[in-house]
C-alpha cells in the first residue's frame, strides 16, 4: 500500500505537477497568425457571436468544452475534504473525458457556503461551456443543485455520481438478469446506500420496468420504511410498508443486491439467504460490501460485480459519462433526459453481448472473452464504445 501511495504521488507530481495542460488548437507562430488569434482579428468572431449567440458553437470551443465542477463535499470514498482537495479527482475526470471521447474540460472547484451559492456560481460561469458535469457533491444537496441548474441553463447538466452510476448499474443488471433467467419487473431488489448513486440507480431501474414496490432501500439506520420520520423527500419516495428493518431482513429472498455504501457490510449469511441465482453488485470502492470470492463460496450460482478493476464485471463510470456527453454535445442537447440515459443503458448492454474484438483482448491481456457471468459490461478500452453510445444518446435527443 505504501508503494502504491508513493507511485500515485509521484505520478501526480512528476515531471510537472497535475494531469492537465492547455494546448492551442490553431497555429500562432507568426505576426499574421497572432493578429488572427488575438487583436485585431479576434474582433470578427466577437461581433458574430454578439449578433447571434449560436455562432459561439462555430467560432469557439464551446461545443466541445465541459466544465467539471465540484464543491468537494463528497470526494470519492473520502468524504468532505473541500474543493481544493477535490482538484486531483476533477483533473482525472478531465483526462478521461479527453482520452475516451475527445472532449475538452476545465476543472472548476467552488468554495460555496450553500447550495444556492453553488448554483449561482455555476449559472454565472456557464455561458462559455457546452455542458456541465457535476462531481463529488454530497446528497441530498446534489439533487437540488442538479435540478436547479437543469432548469436554469440551456446546456446539459450531468451529475456523474447520480446519472453515470445509474446508467452503468442498469446496463450491467439487465445483462445479469438475462443470464440468470429473470425479468426486471419480477425481481426483488435491495439497495444499500440511499445517497446520490443509490437513489438515482433505483429511479432509472424503475423507469426501465422495475416495480417500485419490489425495491427496498437501506441506509445507515436500516430499512427505509413507511414508519420512519427521519427521511428526506428523496428517501421518502422509497419508503414502503414492510416488516423488514435490517439489511439481513431485506436480503432474505431478494434476487438483486446493489451496494453503493461501504466496505464489508454484507455477510456470507446474508448472501446465502438470497433467492436462487442471485445478483450481487457490491460497488463500494476500493473495498466492496462483500468480496466476490466470499459470495461465490456460499452462492456459486451468483453473478457478482464490483467497482474494482481487479475483479470481473467492473461497474466503471468511464463507460458512461464521456460517451453520454459526446452524444449530448454532438446533438446540441439542452439537457440530459431520462430518454438519453435509457438509450445509453441499452447501447452498453447490447455491446457486451457482441463478440469481443482482438484489440480488447490485447489491451486486457486475455485469450478469450464472451458474454457470460464474468462479462456483463463492455471493457472501458473497447473502441466500439465511441461508435455506439454517443449516436444512441444523440438519437434520443431528437
Q: What DSSP letter does each residue of 153-204 carry, written as one string?
A: -SS-EEEIIIIIHHHHHHHHHHHHHHHHT--TTT--EEEE--SHHHHHHHHH
Ranges of H-type helices in the chain: 2-13, 31-37, 43-51, 56-59, 87-101, 115-125, 141-152, 165-180, 196-208, 233-236, 247-251, 268-272, 292-298, 321-330, 338-352, 358-363, 385-397
Sequence-separated contacts (24+) of 82-91 with Cβ below 8 Å: 82/111, 83/109, 83/110, 83/111, 84/109, 86/135, 86/136, 88/12, 88/18, 88/19, 89/135, 89/136, 90/135, 90/136, 91/18, 91/19, 91/20
Half-sphere exposure of 152 (CA within 13 A, CB side): 17
- Give the span between the Cα atoms of 97 and 99, in whole angstroms: 6
- Give the residue numbers spanning the domain of 108: 2-25+61-155
Domain boundary among 129, 155, 181: 155
φ, ψ (nearest 5 deg) of residue 197: -65, -45
**pLDDT (0 to 100) of residue 114:** 95
125 lies in the same domain as 272: no
pLDDT per residue as tens digits for the range 345-381: 999 999 999 999 999 999 999 999 999 999 999 999 9
The sign of the torsion formed by the CA atoms of 349, 353, 357, 362 equals positive
In a domain, 78, yes or no: yes
Q: Give the number of other Cβ atoms within 10 Å of residue 243's Cβ.
A: 7
Q: Which residues are part of the catalytic machinery?
A: 38, 93
Question: Number of folded domains in the chain?
Answer: 2
Helix or strand run (H / E) with residue 301:
none
- Give the span between the Cα atoms of 296 and 294, in whole angstroms: 5
144 lies in the same domain as 179: no
- 149, three cell numbers: 441548474
pLDDT-derived band at 29 (thresholds 50, 70, 90) equals very high
113 lies in the same domain as 212: no
Sequence-separated contacts (24+) of 299-304 with Cβ below 8 Å: 299/271, 299/272, 299/274, 301/276, 301/277, 302/271, 302/274, 302/277, 302/278, 303/176, 303/179, 303/180, 303/277, 303/278, 303/279, 303/373, 303/376, 304/279, 304/280
Here the CATH number for the domain that contains residue 257 is 3.40.50.720
In a domain, 129, yes or no: yes
pLDDT-derived band at 316 (thresholds 50, 70, 90) equals very high
Domain boundary among 98, 127, 155: 155
277 lies in the same domain as 140: no
Here the CATH number for the domain that contains residue 119 is 3.40.50.10380
Q: Give the number of other Cβ atoms within 10 Å of residue 307's Cβ.
A: 23
72 lies in the same domain as 215: no
Say if residue 1's pLDDT is above 80.
Answer: no
Collapsed DSSP state (helix, strand, coil) of residue 72 = coil
Residues 6+ apart with CB under 8 A from 168: 315, 316, 317, 319, 320, 348, 377
Domain boundary among 134, 155, 176: 155
**pLDDT (0 to 100) of residue 307:** 94
Among 77-86, 176-185, 242-251, 265-274, which is the least confidently predicted range?
77-86
245 lies in the same domain as 291: yes
pLDDT-derived band at 77 (thresholds 50, 70, 90) equals confident
198 lies in the same domain as 138: no
In a domain, 67, yes or no: yes
Is the pTM of the predicted complex or chain greater than 0.75? yes
Say if residue 2's pLDDT is above 90.
Answer: no
In a domain, 55, yes or no: no
Burial of 19 (0-12, 13-18, 19+ CB in 10 A): middle
Contact at 8 Å (CB) between 106 and 131? Answer: no
pLDDT per residue as tens digits for the range 249-289: 999 999 999 999 999 999 999 999 999 999 999 999 889 99
**pLDDT (0 to 100) of residue 3:** 87
237 lies in the same domain as 339: yes
Contact at 8 Å (CB) between 216 and 240? Answer: yes
pLDDT-derived band at 92 (thresholds 50, 70, 90) equals very high
251 lies in the same domain as 130: no
Q: Which of 285, 277, 229, 239 is nearest to 261 (CA)?
A: 285
191 lies in the same domain as 88: no
Say if residue 105's pLDDT is above 80.
Answer: yes
251 lies in the same domain as 201: yes
pLDDT per residue as tens digits for the range 318-337: 999 999 999 999 999 999 99
**pLDDT (0 to 100) of residue 226:** 94
Amino acid at each position: 500500500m505504501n508503494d502504491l501511495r508513493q507511485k500515485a504521488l509521484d505520478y501526480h507530481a512528476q515531471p510537472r505537477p497535475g494531469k492537465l495542460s492547455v494546448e492551442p488548437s490553431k497555429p500562432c507562430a507568426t505576426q499574421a497568425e497572432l493578429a488572427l488569434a488575438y487583436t485585431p482579428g479576434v474582433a470578427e468572431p466577437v461581433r458574430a457571436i454578439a449578433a447571434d449567440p449560436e455562432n459561439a458553437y462555430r467560432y469557439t470551443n464551446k461545443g466541445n468544452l465541459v466544465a467539471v465542477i465540484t464543491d468537494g463535499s463528497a470526494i470519492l470514498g473520502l468524504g468532505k475534504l473541500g474543493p481544493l482537495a477535490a482538484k486531483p479527482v476533477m483533473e482525472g475526470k478531465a483526462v478521461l473525458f479527453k482520452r475516451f471521447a475527445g472532449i475538452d474540460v476545465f476543472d472548476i472547484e467552488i468554495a460555496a457556503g450553500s447550495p444556492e451559492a453553488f448554483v449561482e456560481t455555476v449559472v454565472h460561469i456557464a455561458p462559455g461551456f457546452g455542458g456541465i458535469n457535476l462531481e463529488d457533491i454530497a446528497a441530498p444537496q446534489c439533487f437540488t443543485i442538479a435540478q436547479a441548474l437543469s432548469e436554469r441553463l440551456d446546456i446539459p447538466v450531468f451529475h456523474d455520481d447520480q446519472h453515470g452510476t445509474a446508467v452503468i448499474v442498469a446496463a450491467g443488471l439487465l445483462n445479469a438478469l438475462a443470464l440468470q433467467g429473470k425479468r426486471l419487473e419480477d425481481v426483488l431488489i435491495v439497495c444499500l446506500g440511499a445517497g446520490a448513486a443509490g437513489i438515482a440507480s433505483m429511479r432509472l431501474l424503475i423507469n426501465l420496468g422495475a416495480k417500485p414496490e419490489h425495491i427496498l432501500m437501506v441506509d445507515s439506520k436500516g430499512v427505509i420504511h413507511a414508519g420512519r420520520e427521519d427521511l428526506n423527500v428523496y428517501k421518502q419516495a422509497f419508503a414502503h410498508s414492510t416488516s423488514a428493518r435490517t439489511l439481513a431482513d431485506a436480503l432474505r429472498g431478494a434476487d438483486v443486491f446493489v451496494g453503493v455504501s461501504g466496505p464489508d457490510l454484507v455477510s456470507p449469511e446474508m448472501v446465502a439467504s438470497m433467492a436462487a441465482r442471485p445478483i450481487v453488485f457490491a460497488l463500494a470502492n476500493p473495498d466492496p460490501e462483500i468480496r466476490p470470492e466470499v459470495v461465490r463460496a456460499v452462492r456459486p450460482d451468483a453473478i457478482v460485480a464490483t467497482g474494482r478493476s481487479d475483479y470481473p464485471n467492473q461497474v466503471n463510470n468511464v463507460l458512461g459519462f464521456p460517451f453520454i456527453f459526446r452524444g449530448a454535445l454532438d446533438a446540441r442537447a439542452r439537457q440530459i433526459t431520462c430518454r438519453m440515459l435509457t438509450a445509453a443503458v441499452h447501447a452498453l448492454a447490447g455491446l457486451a453481448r457482441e463478440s469481443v474484438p482482438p484489440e480488447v483482448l490485447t489491451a486486457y491481456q486475455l485469450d478469450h472473452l464472451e458474454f457470460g457471468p464474468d462479462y456483463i459490461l463492455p471493457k472501458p478500452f473497447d473502441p466500439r464504445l465511441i461508435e455506439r453510445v454517443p449516436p444512441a444518446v444523440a438519437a434520443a435527443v431528437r
